[in-house]
């Protein structure tokens, strides 16, 4: 159980912040039933390593395997609902002057909870694009309008006939430029950064807290486990975000 004194300290920082960045990772969606990247997977997919599947070369080698894996993840995300952690973050955005959510998550649970200012660093799993972006980057395609033989693998691009793929960033790929710019600018400007549910292992997202701190920001971490970010965080709330963030929100509301 996180100490109430720490919750109050975090609420003070948030209440006084002028530019708040909330950097999130898979942990914030865990209590919505979406497994984190480094969690063991269930059943059929247990023997596959996400880091081996989430690459362009894995897709080229076995497009059906990678497409089916994303269909499985898409199904989990489709059924998921925002948890109290997402809701508390959306409420903070309404109450505090400038709040931006920078997420590594490919689900839309922040938006479903009511967050408006959300930057997706790693794309959106619900979207599909041409593997070759044949009509420009990204060439998004609405798959619900397509019919194809699902046993043969991913649907073909209606423009060029080659494979469609999920609109997510794979290992080794560069991040969408606009999202990266927005994240950089916000990290440089913020006076408080709250880092929620990320292992802090994947760059460039993992570098933002250090960058923000070097520019004078206070760093808050919410994570039941220590991470590389813990060392540079001014405050660490060591608990699940779905429990901790509603308490933080209540403490902020008491100051209003
Ligand atoms: P990870 O799966 O690496 O880490 C999830 C973090 O969430 C861990 O530090 C957990 O301790 C923490 N956690 C677990 N349950 C939590 C809870 N209830 N509340 C808060 N935190 C909790 O996920 P990410 O850091 O998001 O990239 O991974 C970063 C990126 O690496 C992903 O976006 C993905 C991945 O491989 C790409 O796909 C490009």
175 lines ligand 1 (CB under 6 A): no
Instruction: Determine which residue's CA is closest to atom 4 belonging to ligand 1.
Output: 199
pLDDT tens-digit map of 56-115: 999 999 999 999 999 999 998 999 999 999 999 999 999 999 999 999 999 999 999 999
The label of the residue with tokens 């813990």 reads: 230
Is 15 catalytic? The answer is: no
Among 23, 26, 73, residue to substitute to test ligand 1 (most atoms within 8 Å of Cβ): 26
Dist. CA 226 → ligand 1 center (Å): 12
Distance between CA 196 and CA 90 in Å, rounded?
Answer: 13
| Residue 24: partners with Cβ closer than 8 Å, 6 or more residues away | 89, 101, 102, 103, 104, 105, 110, 195, 196, 197, 198
* Contact of 35 with 76, CB cutoff 8 Å: yes
pLDDT of 47 > 90? The answer is: no
| Residue 179: partners with Cβ closer than 8 Å, 6 or more residues away | 119, 120, 121
Distance between CA 35 and CA 145 in Å, rounded?
Answer: 29
Instruction: Determine which residue's CA is closest to atom 25 belonging to ligand 1.
Output: 198
pTM of the model: 0.95
Q: Which residues of 180-199 are buried (b: 16+ CB within 10 A; e: fewer)?
A: bebbeebbeebbbbbbbbbb
- Evaluate the CA torsion angle 140, 143, 145, 147 in order and state its sign: positive
pLDDT tens-digit map of 156-188: 999 999 999 999 999 999 999 999 999 999 999
Tokens read off for 114: 């009511």
Dist. CA 199 → ligand 1 center (Å): 5
């Amino acid at each position: 159980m996180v100490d109430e004194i720490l919750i109050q300290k975090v609420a003070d920082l948030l209440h006084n912040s002028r530019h708040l960045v909330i950097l999130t990772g898979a942990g914030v969606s865990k209590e919505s039933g979406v497994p984190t990247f480094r969690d063991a997977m269930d059943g059929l997919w247990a023997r596959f390593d996400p880091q081996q599947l989430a690459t362009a070369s894995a897709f080229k080698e076995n497009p059906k395997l990678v497409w089916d894996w994303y269909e499985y993840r898409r199904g989990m995300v489709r059924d998921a609902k925002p948890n109290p952690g997402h809701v508390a973050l959306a409420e903070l955005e309404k109450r505090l002057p400038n709040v931006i959510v920078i997420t590594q998550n490919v689900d839309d649970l922040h938006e479903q909870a009511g967050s408006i200012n959300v930057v997706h660093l790693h794309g959106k799993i619900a979207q599909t694009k041409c593997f070759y972006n044949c009509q420009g980057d990204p060439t998004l395609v609405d798959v619900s309008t397509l019919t194809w033989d699902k046993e043969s693998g991913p649907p073909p691009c209606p423009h060029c006939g080659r494979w469609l793929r999920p609109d997510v960033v794979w290992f080794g790929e560069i991040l969408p430029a606009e999202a990266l710019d927005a994240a950089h600018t916000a990290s440089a400007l913020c006076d408080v950064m709250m880092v929620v549910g990320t292992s802090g292992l994947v760059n460039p997202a993992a570098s933002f807290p250090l960058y923000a701190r070097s520019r004078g920001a206070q760093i808050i971490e919410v994570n039941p486990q220590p991470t590389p970010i813990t060392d540079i965080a001014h405050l660490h709330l060591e608990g699940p975000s779905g429990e901790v963030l509603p308490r933080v929100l209540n403490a902020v509301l008491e100051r209003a």
